[in-house]
Every structure is written in C-alpha cells, then in structure tokens.
Amino acid sequence: MKKIVVLIFVVMAALSAKAQFYVGGNVALWHNDDADNTSFLIEPEFGYNFSERWAVGATLGFAHNSKETVGFKNAFSFAPYVRYSYYENKVVRLFLDGGIGISSVKYLWIGFNAQLKLTLFAMSAVLYCYVLPAVQYIIHNNI
C-alpha cells in the first residue's frame, strides 16, 4: 500500500514539473458513530493548460459507503471540463470551470410491512452540466 501511495505522489510531481500539466483532486473520509457507517470519496483531477487563460481537464470520482442501508453503496463519476482564468495577480487566480459530467450510483431502498421486509436495488445514471466559479491561491511562482 505504501508503494502505491509513493508511486501516486511521484507521478503527480512528475506531471506537475512541467507547468502545462496539473493534477489535483479531493479526498474525503467520514464516520458516523450512531449509524456505524463509514464513507469515503476519492476524486483525482488531471488537466492541461493551453495558455495562461485556457485549460482542459477531467475528474474521476469514486464514493463508497460501508453500509448499504444508508442509501447508496458505490458511486462513480466522470466530469471533463474547460477552465477559463479571467483574473490573476501575485496571490490569487480567479477562474470558471464549465463542463459535462456523468455519474452512476447504486441505490438501496428498504421498505417495511407488517410481516415483510422489502429490499429494492436500483442503478441510476445521471448526466449533468455545470459552471463553477473558483479561486486558486498561488503559494509560489514555481509551484
């Protein structure tokens, strides 16, 4: 496991060494003691800068719940986007992301009757589009 984590960081550093490529993403972990449920999200992001103003990229996402009784068990997503940077100074960059995404979720619904417990699984695919304003803090010019 340690080798995989080190490999991921080495690949991210190698891709980021050339300023035109960038990597990022989200990682989230949450545990609810009352429901005894743990969920996590992994969403890496990869992109390429065409110029100082325009870039393209995509995010791949995976979310997981440890218990099926809290709604969904697994969810997958893919969202390519176009990024336009409209303001930059030495501290911040303001930009807009616009894209299309698709996600697939396996839902679980449990209904109770007087003598019967009914369990229903459903798969759902969602297509969405978005425009997202964002701020990037510039730590150092070479990073």
Listed in sequence order, the residues at least 6 apart from 134 whose beta carbon sits closer than 8 Å to its beta carbon are: 94, 95, 96, 97
* Number of continuous H segments (helices) and E segments (strands) in the chain: 1, 6
Q: What is the pLDDT along the chain (143 residues), one digit of tens a residue?
A: 566 666 666 666 555 555 688 888 899 998 888 877 888 899 999 999 988 899 999 999 998 887 765 566 788 999 999 999 999 998 899 999 999 998 888 766 655 655 555 555 566 777 888 898 999 888 876 65
| CA dist., res. 65 & res. 32, Å (int) | 11
